[in-house]
């Protein structure tokens, strides 16, 4: 099949599943009577509705080409970083560092992806940005909570910009026999991550009894992780045909994506709780803010990218 035929079949399958999920939500909303059950159904409906919007946006970006996709993720990083730094108040003495983070580091990082400059893309933030940002804050000559202030900015840039940029960076990988299909690899990563999140939530609501970290994330359960994660691995394995992976490797890498996505959600939930917040924002109905949708992707994307690069790029 051609890349476009694979894309059409993939999106067709997703639309069919979303249609079924919408119908199930419609029926359950009229049958469920308990307050807790109704709350769960409404939350599920909001998630499905948000999925319709997200699939529409990513489909348009896919059709318009790599440049649009890179710009889309640059915008997502900008919005997520704004949410992150809004919840982690900074000093006026850090404004120069913040200006550089938003208006220099983000554009340069995503431009290097557009330019397919792999060597620069992988070291720009961990080396140059990490040295530059605290230097700018130090020049303001305010040492009050200096380490805490600079750590917040660096952590935000590392997770929200550097890690997220590995998603569109999949477009620059030169995989033999897979030319022109890298966008499918990007969709594969996002689908496995998001499907895992949804299935872990549903399985946790249905069978969850043992909470993994109730203080950090009360909704995450052992049963949700095991059963939802297993189902997500099954979905990832079944989608091997849109990737350069054999089915066995698709299963293994789906498992890695599920585990890293879970850890990403857990760590970012810990950050939220430490700041006394339930969500990073309210941009997406049923999903909180942009950062709430990218928390799992933040950890899964760089690991997935480098695994593919190590095993599939000569």
Domain containing 101 equals 65-171
Q: Residue 217 domain-assigned?
A: no
Q: Which CA distances in Å does 137 have to 88, 149, 199, 212, 305? A: 16, 9, 43, 38, 32
| pLDDT tens digits along 195-227 | 898 888 888 877 878 899 888 888 888 998 999
Inform me whether the pLDDT recorded for 279 exceeds 90.
no
pLDDT greater at residue 63 or residue 278: 63
Amino acid 290: pLDDT:
78
Band of residue 36 on the pLDDT scale cut at 50, 70, 90: low
pLDDT greater at residue 48 or residue 235: 235
Number of domains in the chain: 1
Q: Residue 141 domain-assigned?
A: yes
**DSSP letters for 257-299:** HHHHHHHHHHHHHHHHHHTT-S-S-SSBTTTBSHHHHHHHHHH
Q: Residue 32 domain-assigned?
A: no
Amino acid 111: pLDDT:
97
Inform me whether the pLDDT recorded for 90 exceeds 80.
no
H-type helices in the chain, by residue range? 3-31, 35-64, 66-87, 95-100, 106-114, 118-123, 130-138, 146-156, 166-169, 182-207, 222-223, 229-238, 247-274, 290-312
Q: Residue 297 domain-assigned?
A: no
Q: Residue 302 domain-assigned?
A: no
Q: Residue 199 domain-assigned?
A: no
Q: Residue 113 domain-assigned?
A: yes
The pTM for the full model equals: 0.88
| pLDDT tens digits along 224-245 | 899 999 999 999 999 999 999 9
Q: Residue 98 domain-assigned?
A: yes
Cβ neighbours of 65 (radius 10 Å) = 11
């Amino acid at each position: 099949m051609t890349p476009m035929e694979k894309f059409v079949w993939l999106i067709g399958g997703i639309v069919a599943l979303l249609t079924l999920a919408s119908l199930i939500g419609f029926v359950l909303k009229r049958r469920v009577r308990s307050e807790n059950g109704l709350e769960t159904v409404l939350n599920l409906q909001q998630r499905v509705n948000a999925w319709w919007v997200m699939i529409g946006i990513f489909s348009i970006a896919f059709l318009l080409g790599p440049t649009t996709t890179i710009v889309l993720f640059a915008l997502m990083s900008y919005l997520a970083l704004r949410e992150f730094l809004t919840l982690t108040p900074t000093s006026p003495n850090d404004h120069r560092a913040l200006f550089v983070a938003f208006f220099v580091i983000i554009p340069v990082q995503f431009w290097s992806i557009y330019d397919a400059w792999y060597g620069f893309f992988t070291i720009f933030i961990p080396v140059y940005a990490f040295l530059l940002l605290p230097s700018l804050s130090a020049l303001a000559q305010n040492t009050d909570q200096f380490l805490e202030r600079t750590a917040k900015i660096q952590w935000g840039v590392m997770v929200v910009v550097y890690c997220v940029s590995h998603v569109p960076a999949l477009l620059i990988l030169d995989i033999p026999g897979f030319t022109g299909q890298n966008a499918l690899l990007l969709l594969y990563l996002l689908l496995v991550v998001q499907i895992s999140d949804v299935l872990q939530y549903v399985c946790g609501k249905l069978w969850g009894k043992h909470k993994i970290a109730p203080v950090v994330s009360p909704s995450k359960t052992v049963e949700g992780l095991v059963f939802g994660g297993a189902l997500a691995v099954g979905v990832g394995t079944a989608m091997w045909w849109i990737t350069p992976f054999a089915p066995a490797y698709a299963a293994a890498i789906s498992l890695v994506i599920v585990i890293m996505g879970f850890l990403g959600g857990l760590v970012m939930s810990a950050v939220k709780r430490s700041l006394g917040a339930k969500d990073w924002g309210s941009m997406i109905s049923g999903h909180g803010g942009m950062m709430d949708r990218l928390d799992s992707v933040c950890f899964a994307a760089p690991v997935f990218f480098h695994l593919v690069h190590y095993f599939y790029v000569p």
